[in-house]
Every structure is written in structure tokens, then in C-alpha cells.
Amino acid sequence: MTATPPSLTPEDRAKLNALHGRLSALALRNIGYPCNQVFDYSELFRFLQFSLNNVGDPFTGSNYRLNTHEFEREVMEEFARLTRAPEDDWWGYVTGGGTEGNMYGLYVARELHPEGICYFSEDTHYSVAKILRLQHTRSIMIKSTPDGSMDCADLRETLRIHRDVPPIIFANIGSTMKGASDDLAAMRAILDELAITSAYIHADAALSGIILPFVKKPQPWNFADGADSISISGHKLLGCPLPCGVVLARRKNVDRIARSIEYVGVLDTTIAGSRSAITPLMLWYRLKSLGHEGIAQIVQRSLQLADYAITQLQARGIKAWRHTHSITVVFPRPPESMMKKWIIAPKKDIGHIITLPHVTESVIDEFASDFTDALKTQTKAKS
């Protein structure tokens, strides 16, 4: 197939070139958001000539055969292994990102428990409250401890008060700002203690879900530890030019909500209708080209960089810390002048950097030096 060569004016072409230059300069300064910049998908560029669409359930086929469902199934089988999904009782698909994955988990939970109450901590991603409003799900925010994890004492007391209503617990496995993981084992113990037998736990493992399978003694977080559904981002630690992710859930629960759609010849089990067929291909390519050893190396390198960042910041008198198995390095909120050069995600009185492979030692050194200079300038301005 051939296409008409693009015809742009010199002004339009200059505009594209300027955008490329700006993004090239910014990419290595993007240290506050979890997007690995180190990847190469050039081998897949040839597939951009097709109008691909992964509409529908990747496990049942579709009338629209220009798809990558076969590759999507392999991606999901790998993530099922990584999350210790129950054999022959799991289902999942490649999403447009973490928010869609969380929406799917909460959608399944709401369909199973229409009168249920969702419990989430104050450190939960902002999109969750929005999802709950869209789905008209009752909810109660639970306190967080200072380290960013859900306060299980507050959860227990709140569940006790509402123990006649099925709970839907939204657990953070690596919270947005502090990288904290909520304790799934403690949550299940509370449910058992209160004799609550009808409950649902969704785990938002956007960043940590691809870290914890590759470390020793990970905290409880997966299906074997009590999760009913799990959402993981694909463009974060693995790295991808397009936002994407995966969501997995217990098949027996998904079967309760499936609907057959004759028009496209699919089961309607996903949130979106038309879905990207390129991102499943990219995730497949990344998983295959890296292998377990390659992913493990990225994880270990990122953890080493996190420790290096803490050492460099602390050496300059800046309090910095991280959770076990987390690559989110937390510190006091930097002066506003830092935001002009560095892409950082501050919230209230803290900031953080996320030490993915593009955040090298030299980048960390430069950031730490700039942080020190900015604090000195700020102190002089106040005196």
C-alpha cells in the first residue's frame, strides 16, 4: 500500500522540528513522573501503515481482523504469571493506562456489589474519586499514615461501623507521591476478624507492579495475597511512547458482566470499544526483547539510582527517603525556581523524583546541585 507523500508548508515543518527539539531537551529533565525514556521501538514502525484496532475481548476474536489480539494474549499471559493470577481463573486486557485499569477493577466490583462502599486512602491517585463519581459508587476516604500508606486502624473501625455493607477496598501498591504500598495481608485479616465474607480488593500497582515480581521478599500485593483485580501501567518502568497498561481480574467475576455484541462479533468485556492495537504490540516487543533478566536489570538499576539520589541529597542536608522496593525518592518541596528547569511533581510540602534508567547519576548530581543553589537563593531572599 502507498500513501500520498505528506505536503507541509515550510512553516508547518519548522513547527514540527521545533517541537522535536523542545521534547528532546525536556526528556532527560523529566524526573518527577514515572515514564522511562530509554527504549527503542523502531522495529515496529512498519506497522503504523495499517489501521489496526483491538476492539473487544482479546480472547474471543473479532470480525475486525486487522488486530494484534494474538500478541495481546501473550502479553496478558506474562502479566498473569507476574501477578500470580489463579490458573484458569483470570482474564485481562491491555488498557489505555492506569486510570482505565482502575476504572475496570472498580466497575467489576460495583457490578458484583451494587450497594457496596469503596474505601480508599487520602494518598490515592486523584482519578479514583472521579471514577467513583462517574460510577455512582458510595465511598469513604480512609486516613493515611505519615509514610503514605492506608491507616489500617482507621480502615478497621470504619469497616466495623459499616460491616452490613459489602466493602470494595482500593489498595495502593506504590502510592503516587510517596511510593507507599497498602498492606493487603492486614486488609484480609481485618475482613476475617470482622467476619466479612463478601468483599472485593482492587490493587493499583501502576508503577510497583512491574518492580515487585523482581525483588526478594516483596510486600503482599498480588492475587495470591488477596487481590481480586490488579492494574499495572505499561509506559512507566518498561517504557513506551504511548500511555498504556494492563488490568487483570478473576475470570469468574468478569463473566458476570460480559455481553455479546453481534456488530463486531465480540464479547463486550472491556471499558473502551475501539482499542489501540499498537500498544499491545509494543508491550509484547518490550517483554520479549528484555526477557525476565532484562527487566530485573532495569529494576535493580532503578533501585540503585534511588539509593544514589538519597545519598547525594542527604549529603547536601536535604532530607530524602524511600520505601522498601520503591524507586520514588521523597524530599521537601523544592523552591519554585526549580520547576523552570526540572519536570517535578510537587504536592503540598513534598516533592519527589522517580529514578528510572534515564535519571542517571550525572542527572541526579545536577539536580542535587541545583536544589542546593535554589535553597541558598531562597534563604538569601528571605533574609
Where in the sequence numbering do the catalytic residues fall? 326
**Residues 181, 143: contact at Cβ < 8 Å?**
no
Q: Give the span between the Cα atoms of 334 and 343, in whole angstroms.
A: 11
On whether the CB atoms of residues 75 and 257 are closer than 8 A, the answer is no
Contact of 215 with 61, CB cutoff 8 Å = no
Of 231, 253, 260, 234, which Cα lies nearest the Cα of 245? 234
* HSE of 12, CA atoms in CB hemisphere, 13 A: 4
Backbone angles phi, psi at 308, to 5 degrees: -65, -40
Quote the CA–CA distance of 378 and 383 in Å, as a whole number. Answer: 9
Task: Give the whole-angstrom CA distance, residue 211 versus residue 325.
Answer: 7
**Are 273 and 64 a contacting pair, CB within 8 Å?**
no
Strands 117-121 and 138-142: parallel
Q: Where does residue 113 fall: left (phi above 0), alpha (psi -120 to 50 degrees), or beta otherwise?
A: beta
Give 262's strand partners. none
* Grid cell in block for residue 226: 488477596
Q: Cα separation of 139 and 311, whole Å? A: 40
Q: How many residues does the chain have?
A: 383
Distance CA 158, CA 141 (A): 10
Q: Are 142 and 175 in contact (CB under 8 A)?
A: no
What is the biggest distance separating any 2 CA atoms in the chain, rounded to whole angstroms? 72
